[in-house]
Amino acid sequence: MAVEWGSWSGPSGTRFRVGIDLSVSGTTITARYYLGSEGGVSDNQKLVMGYSITGSVNYTASQPYNGGTQLIATRSVTSSRGVQRRFSARIEGIYNGASPRVDAYAMVPAAPPSSPGTPSVVSVSSTSMRISWSAPSSTNGASITRYQVQRADNSSFTSGTAAATTTSRSYTNSSLSPNRTYYWRVRAENSAGWSGWSGGRAATTSPALPTAPTSVAVTRNSDTSQALSWTRQATSQAPYDSIQVERKDTVNSSWTRVATVGGTATSYTDTSTVASRRYDYRVRAVNGGGAGGYSATVSVSTSPSAPSGVVAKKSGTQISVSWSKSTNQWGIYQHVIQDNPGGTGWVDVATVGDVTSWADTAPDTNVTHQYRVATRVYTYGVGSAGLTGGWSTPSAVVQLIAPPLAPSRRLPVGTIDRAAILTFAWTHNPVDTTDQTAYELQYRVNGGAWVLLTGTTADVRMVSALGVSGTLEWQVRTKGEHPDFGPWSPVWSASLASLPAVVLLAPVGTLPSSRLTAEWSYANADSTGQAVWEAQLLDSEGALLETRTGSGGAVSAVFETALVDGADYVARVRARSGAGMWSNWESQQFTTDFPLPVTVEAIPVFDRETGVTTLTFTDPPTPSTYEWTGQPNASPSTSNTADGTITNLEINPRFVTDADTPPDSTREPHALLPAGSYALVIPAAPTGFGYGSFAYDPFGE
């Protein structure tokens, strides 16, 4: 660059000026500072630099008589590209007062930007891809004006290349091929030119959704195995990664995935099926793009379940057969009926529609008959036509006319109360399925004469209480529509006995203790001793607190439960006789009323030599309330205390006033004494009061 000179300064003929010569190399700006003069000079002066380069330089101006130019200083500074830099200079200390100055400007020119960041894939579909990238780390002095995106089929960007420009830092390319790998790179441009290419990025478009398999078929192997097959429709752009198998049935109506097989599979066998269902199947393929559409639905049936509740019953000269349908039915059904005449083997006798009854209008009257029913699927789904399920449980054997079998016993059994109404009950056992039309019942007690009772259709007969103990024997026989009775049942027996009775003797009213001892008496009209007993303690709300049991003739029970003073409780007891009869519960409510335990004092004594502390306890105080009884002036009186009874051997004294009482004692009325009598309250148990005998009524006036 040429020197940029400032204006001349100073008197004419001796003027001075200052200049700056700026040169640029790369990003370095070099400034050369010059002094110009009109005449000769030899003077000490000072250069002051400003803006991009600062500082000062002292120098000596030395010029010939006709003036000239002198280099004063050279300085350099590094600058960013594309930024205009300002430089200034002025001269101070000139002898004639001149003060020249100058400003100059320079700029490092811009360069192409650095490369953008390697592209990133933002989103991918089967036909489009969106990429983005980061801006160049340096624009090198000029703003980015645009970006160029290049796409290729290989990493060297030599095949299938295409390019596009954009001013943003992202780019979406549509109309791509599914399931294809593309390579991407990008470069930036500013006013100085294009940057280098960024790193390359490979990305693959999603495959197209797979086409649904075709020719789906199902083959029934068994009730627990169904074989499916299909034809794949995979392509390079819509491949099969996997195949999903779904099913639903007549119980579970929602589609459920039962298997996922590989994308190359063309078959699957479902081994989780059960009988009595119709199964529907469908399949679909899945790849990275998602799940394709479903195939057509195919169906298969498993064997229907057997009917239930088959009943065969004589109706005049015919036999009526009825049943309940099998569960989970679908489609159109038939029922196949078989008979087992005379027990010689099962033979088909009828095939009927979707009904629940059928009549055998011409059965052989000379043999027995027994029937069973199976369900047949008439149509619905592969393998369903003519598919017959298992046979039902056979009906009872029917004989057109025959006496019944001996009845079965229901009541009575075991030991029964001789004072209760006697109930006989039995079960009619027909051979020909006809209901009971008559019965004969006979019983006796202790081997006496049989008593015969008759009736019609009832299977229960009540008899008044027999009132005696011993052995009851009885038997019964019944009749159906056949004119003859069936055989007598075996002679059944039961024991007659009286209920034992217990009377609860204790507790009664108030219990002066914190532990309960229950006492009772036992009686039995049969003179059968007590075999087992059970006693219980309950609180006032009826909650069970404790149960005591035992065997033998004991008539008392001690409970372990600690009772609360002043609380209400219930005691009850029952007993079982040797004949096995339990008495009724005998209950008694009672209230506790007992003195609380006394307090004693613990005295520790420490032995310094042994280091042992010994605890000693004081004796409890003696109860202080006494009730004196006895015949006044005639017999020794007795003092009843809380912890025992003390006999006073002296004749009861008379205490008319408080002054007559022993020291520290008082006389007080008491609920157990008649009016006008008093209880003597003293602080400790006496053996006598120190008084002589008095011929007066005690404790009264």
In 327-459 the beta strands, taken as DSSP E runs, fall at: 332-339, 347-352, 357-360, 371-379, 387-391, 405-411, 415-417, 422-429, 438-445, 451-455
Q: What is the pLDDT of residue 687?
A: 41
pLDDT in tens, 198-239: 999 999 999 999 999 999 999 999 999 999 999 999 999 999
Compute CA distances 444 → 420, 448, 449, whole Å: 16, 6, 6
Q: Is the pLDDT of residue 589 over 50?
A: yes
The pLDDT value given to residue 402: 79
Segment 621-662, tens digit of pLDDT: 655 444 555 555 445 555 544 444 444 434 445 455 555 566
Residues in the chain: 701
CB 456 within 8 A of CB 435: no
Who wins on pLDDT, 159 or 653?
Answer: 159
pLDDT tens-digit profile of 318-377? 899 999 987 766 666 788 999 999 899 999 999 998 899 999 998 987 788 999 999 887
CA angle 241, 247, 248 (to 5 degrees): 155
Cβ neighbors of 235 (< 8 A, separation 6 or more) are: 208, 211
The stretch 465-479 carries a mean pLDDT of 93
Mean pLDDT of 669-678: 54
pLDDT digits (tens, 9 = 90+) for 21-78: 999 999 999 999 999 999 888 999 999 999 999 999 999 999 888 889 999 999 999 9
Domains of the chain: 4-107 (2.60.40.10), 120-204 (2.60.40.10), 214-301 (2.60.40.10), 308-389 (2.60.40.10), 405-496 (2.60.40.10), 501-592 (2.60.40.1220), 596-701 (no CATH)
Among 697, 689, 636, which residue's Cα sits nearest to residue 665? Answer: 689
Of the pLDDT bands very low, low, confident and very high (cuts 50, 70, 90), residue 447 is very high
Cα-based distances in Å from 405 to 66, 106, 247: 164, 132, 53
Mean predicted confidence (pLDDT) in 598-618: 76
- Mean of the pLDDT values across residues 80-107? 94
Task: Answer yes or no: are the C-beta atoms of 267 and 228 closer than 8 Å.
Answer: yes
Distance CA 292, CA 283 (A): 10
Mean pLDDT (the chain) is 87
Nearest-angstrom CA–CA distance, 577 and 106? 131
- How confident is residue 607, by pLDDT bands cut at 50, 70 and 90? confident
214: Cβ–Cβ under 8 A, 6 or more apart, which residues?
230, 231, 233, 295, 296
Question: Is pLDDT above 60 for 95?
Answer: yes
- For the CA atoms of 322, 326, 331, 335, the dihedral, rounded to the nearest 10 degrees, stands at -40
Cβ(494)–Cβ(413) below 8 Å? yes
CB of 20 closer than 8 Å to CB of 89: yes
Phi/psi region, residue 700 (left: phi>0; alpha: psi -120 to 50; beta: rest), is beta
**pLDDT category, 401, cuts 50, 70, 90?**
confident
pLDDT at 665: 63
Which pair of tokens denotes residue 504?
A: 């609860």
Residue pair 62/41 in contact by the 8 Å Cβ criterion? yes
Give Cα 688 to chain centroid, integer Å: 79
User: Looking at the predicted structure, is the pLDDT value of residue 510 above 70?
Assistant: yes
**How many helices and strands (H and E) does the chain possess?**
0, 54
Question: In the structure encoding, which two tokens stand for residue 343, read together?
Answer: 């027990």
- Residue 667 pLDDT grade (very low, low, confident, very high; cuts 50, 70, 90): low
Cα separation of 508 and 539, whole Å? 15
The predicted structure's pLDDT at residue 212? 97
Q: What is the dihedral of CA 45, 50, 55, 59, to 10 degrees?
A: -20
pLDDT at 684: 43
Residue 388: the pLDDT is 85
Query: How far apart (Å, rounded) are the C-alpha atoms in residues 354 and 336?
Result: 10
Q: Which of 233-237, 509-513, 619-623, 697-701 has the lowest mean pLDDT?
A: 697-701
- pLDDT for 642 equals 45
Q: What pLDDT, on the 0 to 100 scale, is given for residue 333?
A: 76
Coil, strand or helix at 28: strand
